[in-house]
Amino acid sequence: MTENIILKLSSGEEIVCRLVEDTQSGMIQITNPLLVSTTPRVTSLGLEESVSLRRWIHFSEEQVYSINKSMVVTKADASLGLSRFYELCVLKMLRDVEDEIRVPTEEELMEIEAEEAFDEWESSLTSKTIH
């Protein structure tokens, strides 16, 4: 199993990802990069930070990303807790992509058409004003 790592980039961003390959050409290849965001919040116990993960690059269908090694300040293994959270986020992200790509069945298409026809019929009844 590929280990999850955290990269601290020269831009200040921290991303958690899987290392695919650390090439000799000055590039690091990674997959499923997620941006780590921390948000401070005040609780009854004092100041705490919550962690969230979100897509690092939006609207891309790439599976593997290459990063110039000169952009990486440091890299470290992700903690066990962060790794588990990351795995859950990646699974959800991949399921969401599969749901978007899934083609509806003929039955589902017929059901959608029937609902649209019913909505049109219903709106035609309510749109007329009777005095």
Each of the 131 residues of the chain gets a pLDDT tens digit; together they read 458 999 999 999 999 999 988 777 889 999 999 999 988 888 888 888 888 999 999 888 788 999 999 999 999 999 999 999 999 999 888 777 655 555 667 787 777 777 777 777 766 666 555 55
For domain 4-126, the question of CATH label 2.30.30.100 is answered with: yes
The residue ranges of every structural domain in the chain are 4-126
Tally helices (H) and strands (E) across the chain: 2, 6
What is the length of the chain?
A: 131
Beta carbons of 86 and 4 less than 8 angstroms apart: yes
Per-residue pLDDT tens digits for 50-71: 889 999 998 887 889 999 999 9
Distance separating alpha carbons of residues 37 and 60, to the nearest angstrom: 20
Beta carbons of 57 and 41 less than 8 angstroms apart: no
